[in-house]
Amino acid sequence: MSDNKHPTPMLDELENGPWPSFVSGIKRMRDEHPDDRVNSMANDLLGQLEHSYETRKGYWKGGTVSVYGYGGGIIPRFSEVGKQFPESREFHTLRVQPPAGNFYTTDILRQLGESWEKWGSGLVTFHGQTGNIMFIGATTENTQHFFDEINDYGFDLGGAGPCVRTAMSCVGSARCEQSCANEHKIHRTLVNNFTDDVHRPALPYKFKFKVSGCPNDCMNSIERADMAVIGTWRDEIKIDQDEFKAYLDVKGRQHVIDNIITRCPTNCMTLTDDDKLEIEDRNCVKCMHCLNVVPKALSPGDDRGVSILMGGKRTLKIGDLMGTVIVPFMKLETEEDYERIVEIAEETIDFWAENGLEHERCGEMIERIGLVNFLEGIGVDVDPNMVSHPRESSYVRMDGWDEEAEKWFQRKAEEKSAAAAA
Amino acid sequence: MAKKEMRQPIESGCPDGFQYMHPLMLKNYGNWKWHDHPRPGVLRHVAHSGDAIWTVKAGTQRILDMFTLRKLCDIGDQYADGHVRFTIRSNIEYMVEDEAKVDPLIAALEGEGFVVGGTANSVAMISHTQGWLHCDIPGTDASGVVKAMMDELIDEFKNCEMPNRVHITTSCCQINCGGQGDIAINVQHTKPPKINHDLVANVCERPSVVARCPVAAIRPAQVNGKPTLEVDEKKCICCGACYPPCPPMQINDPEHSKLAVWVGGNHSNARSKPSFQKLVASGVPNNPPRWPEATAIVKRILKVYKEDAKDWERINDWIDRIGWPRFFELTGLPFTKYHIDNWRGSRKSLNASTHIRF
């Protein structure tokens, strides 16, 4: 790199300290990478970032950039100070869908890296907040070249704009003993059913799927997903009393009482006088705490499935929302089961596409029209698991009561005969 | 002149992850039995078959350059089994079959400046957004804030001494892309936007912008003969939602865009239902390159939490037990009129009881 390096006194300060420094990394690209193009890009990027640090303002603006055939997947970034920092004047990010579960081999990482440093800045993040591999910094022309190259060996763009976005799933069945679902399969079944909606944004706003294998919800799906799919079970927790006793012998009765028994949110556990753990499973809400504390002694039950919650989102425009229960439990084992979950997603997205306002998330729409209207819209029956408690306000017109009560009794009768037949 | 044939994309969507999975994970898929946590940064998972897989987790700078990425791959090939994954907080995890590889792998990672830790009851890597490096609407930087804070919190990342895990997030504007956290440090604008009336009509789709305001404080107007927008500053809550669709409504201000600190967000269902973070501090200066004031508050909160909370209590569990008045007392943070919510549904946050600790 020639002697036109921008001075970066404030950023230099972030090279001190024990945590790995992204500034040092970008500087290495400026100073040591064999490609001049990469050197100058990094130099101007650092120059603009330093300028931001000095003025406390950002200098990127959006625009429209996409690859041929797609309407989204690229975050356009044009510099407002491109005259001063020309080599990073166009600095778009490509969002690329990672393999489900974020698994990689070193080989494929190297291959992606080689492709990237050929066309882009060489800066990459695994992964962004939504879950995309973020290839940060390419010119408009080079986004097409980079995409063509990685698309040829199996990678595709993620979502950007008012579309179905890249989904996420936890490590789940690949390593975790708490996994109650095939997260990998659910993730790909859902998001790949909507590939058209990922690449051609035509929805009111964004829509995100997230899949967690158990109610620990490591993918933060209740708080971050329009449709959260969370593995769970409905039968008894499996207790290995020998392992439990072994734990108790080390930690003591008091520790077990203080850290396990009394932490149960529904008080469904007891420690017997002969040091056995008893759980009243019908009151267990599958919170995972006890399983987290003694994973050797406790396991989820075997009658596994998923709970589906909908409507999670961040702050714009009505504040943060959590997803709420739409499907308390469904099995996900047979092909019919998987078809059903895709159907639920399709009904939801179709209904929201028709009824959501511009820039309105699914959760905002539900807030606006009311859960009951939403359920009717997607053809799902009401269920007491959808509420923390029934209404507290009498201000509602209920002249359809008898019909609605009849629907409930009808359903229960059908469930009863289906269970008897099984 | 022949028309150039454009390459059609292969719409492959989300790739299969099985092809990259460690063979031992593949073999025991869905059949894991238990795990333990032999030391910070290391997990051991044992399958029903008796197979065991070891995971070493390491923190990185998250914005990876090619040299760093290659170094991580070299380590993966030389010291591990070549199979890795990244966590939701952008840490890297190496999975190995042979326990004997764990110590040399840790030594190799630490030797190259990566930080082994971030498991169980540690302070996890701070999740963050793009900031001045890349976002089009940032009030502050993201990777810089995280670097500055992790420098100070690194011991808590490397050791597992917290009552339970701590998830910290930062966001460079009030949209909060960083997500909810045990502790969140987010931009908080304190003044209405400064409008460049000459540009609004050229750049902004005015009805969209009007619709975007959560408090209906924006309306069309004429200024200097140009069609533009004006803001009812008495209504404006300075959230910055009008800025993304209309950059001439500049909300970011070097002095008046401050930082706010929130605590008690918890995504998990364990022990209690998921919770949102609550405001605890605001008016914190946005002070690059190290943001010492924000870092000091975070450290103070963590110190109090570490000393006072019981095992397994996340920050929200801890505060639920001791009560908010004690939180403010222990941390020395001021309680102001701004802490009392007046947004929709806020009455639920008021104390309609005599449950008062003395």
For B131-152, the pLDDT digits (tens) are 999 999 999 999 999 999 999 9
Q: Which residue has the tokens 């800045």?
A: A121
- Name which of B65, B88, B110, B122 to mutate to probe chain A: the one with the most chain A Cβ atoms within 10 A of its Cβ: B65
Q: Each residue of A153-174: pLDDT tens digit?
A: 999 999 999 999 999 999 999 9
Nearest to A48 by CA among A36, A39, A57: A57
B residues 134-163 lying closer than 8 A (beta carbon) to A: 134-138, 140-141, 143-144, 147-148, 150-151, 154
Cα A372 to Cα A102: distance, rounded to the nearest angstrom:
37
Q: How far is A407 from chain B (nearest CA, A)?
A: 30
Would you identify the CATH topology of the domain A60-152? Alpha-Beta Plaits (3.30.70)
Residues of B in contact with A189 (CB under 8 A): none
pLDDT digits (tens, 9 = 90+) for A353-372: 999 999 999 999 999 999 99
Instruction: Give how far A234 is from chain B: nearest CA, Å.
Output: 16
pLDDT in tens, A1-53: 456 899 999 999 999 999 999 999 999 999 999 999 999 999 999 999 999 99
What pLDDT is attached to residue A2?
Answer: 55
To probe the interface with A, which of B48, B87, B134, B196 has the most A CB atoms within 10 Å?
B134
Looking at chain A, which residues constitute the CATH 3.30.70.2500 domain(s)?
60-152
Cβ of B85 within 8 Å of Cβ of A77? The answer is no
Q: What is the pLDDT of residues B4-17, one digit of tens each?
A: 688 999 999 999 99
d(CA A378, CA A380): 6
Chain B 158-217, CB below 8 Å of chain A: which residues? 174-180, 208, 211-214
CA distance A326 to chain B (A): 16
**Any chain B CB within 8 A of the CB of A151?**
yes
Closest CA to A242 of A277, A190, A290, A282: A277
pLDDT at A316 over 90: no
Is B8 an 8 Å CB contact of chain A?
yes
Instruction: Check pLDDT > 60 for residue B183.
Output: yes
Domains and CATH numbers, chain B: 18-116 (3.30.70.3340), 131-190+254-334 (3.30.413.10), 194-250 (3.30.70.20)
* Residue A405: both structure tokens together: 């009560």
With cut-offs at 50, 70 and 90, classify the pLDDT of residue A216. very high
pLDDT in tens, B158-178: 999 999 999 999 999 998 899
B299 and B200 Cβ atoms separated by less than 8 Å: no
- Domain A238-299: assigned CATH number: 3.30.70.20
Contact between B9 and A71 (Cβ < 8 Å): no
Q: How confident is the model at residue B2 (pLDDT cuts 50, 70, 90)?
A: low
Contacts of B62 in chain A (CB under 8 A): 22, 125
CB neighbour list of residue A59: distance below 8 Å, 6 or more residues apart? A48, A51, A52, A79, A80, A81, B132
- pLDDT of A283: 97
Mean of per-residue pLDDT scores for chain B:
95
Q: What is the pLDDT of residue A318?
A: 87
Contacts of residue A195 in chain B, CB cutoff 8 Å? 11, 13
Residue B344 has what pLDDT? 74
Share of residues in chain B with pLDDT > 70 (%) = 99
The yes-or-no verdict on residue B1 having pLDDT over 70 is no
Give A403's DSSP letter: H
Tell me which of A10, A38, A105 to substitute to probe the interface with B (most B C-beta atoms closer than 10 Å).
A105
Which chain B residue shows the shortest CA-CA distance from A54?
A: B288
User: B70-120 pLDDT, tens per residue?
Assistant: 999 999 999 999 999 999 999 999 999 999 999 999 999 999 999 999 999
Q: Domain A168-213+221-226+306-421: what homologous superfamily?
A: Sulfite Reductase Hemoprotein, domain 1 (3.30.413.10)
CATH 3.30.70.20 intervals, chain A? 238-299
pLDDT score, position A81: 96
CB contact under 8 A, A318 and B7: no
pLDDT at position A3 is 66
| Cα distance between residue A233 and residue A331, in whole Å | 9
Best mutation target among A22, A173, A258 (most B Cβ atoms within 10 Å) is A22
Full-prediction pTM beyond 0.90?
yes
Q: What is the pLDDT of residues A118-144, one digit of tens each?
A: 999 999 999 999 999 999 999 999 999
Average pLDDT of the segment spanning A241-254: 97
What b/e sequence results for A315-352 when a residue is b if at least 16 CB atoms lie within 10 Å of its CB, and e otherwise? bbbbbbbbbbbbbbbeebeeeeebeebbebbeebbebb
The pLDDT of residue B3 is 59
Both structure tokens of A49:
């970032």
Domain with CATH 3.30.413.10 in chain A: 168-213+221-226+306-421
**Distance, CA of A286 to CA of A304 (rounded, Å):** 12
> Cβ B179–A28 below 8 Å, yes or no?
no
Look at A289 and B271 and tell me if their CB atoms are within 8 Å.
yes
Q: How far is CA B325 from CA A237, B37, B265, B319, B334, in A?
A: 38, 35, 18, 9, 10
Query: By 3-state DSSP, what share of chain A in percent is helix, strand and coil, each rounded to 5?
Result: 45, 15, 40
Residue A325 has what DSSP assignment? Answer: E
User: Which residues in chain B are closer than 8 Å to A160, comparing Cβ atoms?
Assistant: none
Query: Which residues from A are below 8 Å from B68, CB to CB?
Result: 20, 25
User: In this structure, are residues B249 and B200 in contact, taking their beta carbons and an 8 Å threshold?
Assistant: yes
Q: Which of residues 37-76 of B touch A (CB under 8 A)?
A: 45, 53, 55, 59-70, 72-74, 76
Beta-carbon separation of A358 and B6 below 8 A: no
Task: Give A 203-222 residues with CB within 8 A of chain B.
Answer: 215-220, 222
Mean pLDDT of chain A: 96
Check: CB of residue B281 under 8 Å from CB of residue B229: no
CA distance B112 to chain A (A): 9
Q: Give the E-state strand segments of A20-172 in sequence order.
A: 60-61, 74-75, 78-79, 92-96, 103-105, 123-126, 133-138, 168-169
H or E element in which residue A184 lies? helix A183-193
Instruction: State residue A317's pLDDT score.
Output: 82
* Percentage above 90 pLDDT, chain A: 96
Closest CA of chain A from B223, distance in Å: 25
